[in-house]
Amino acid sequence: MKLVYFEQFDDPENAIRREKRLKKWKRAWKIALIEKDNPDWNDLYPGIAGPP
């Protein structure tokens, strides 16, 4: 499993609102959102997690 997309929020309520909105999107829209910022579908987790 890979992390291919994420958004950061300062407020958990805004994050939950965004998540609910994205869940209603069509699959093609979600793929386009990912490919806009991560066209190669690289795993983004190592870049945000830091060293173990």
pTM (2 decimals)? 0.83
Model confidence at 50, pLDDT cuts 50, 70, 90, reads confident
Average pLDDT over residues 5-15: 98
Q: What is the rounded distance in angstroms from the CA atom of residue 16 to the CA atom of residue 31? A: 20
pLDDT tens readout for residues 17-47: 999 999 999 999 999 999 999 999 999 999 9
At 11 the pLDDT is: 98
CB 34 within 8 A of CB 5: yes
Taking 90 as the threshold, does the pLDDT of residue 4 lie above it?
Answer: yes
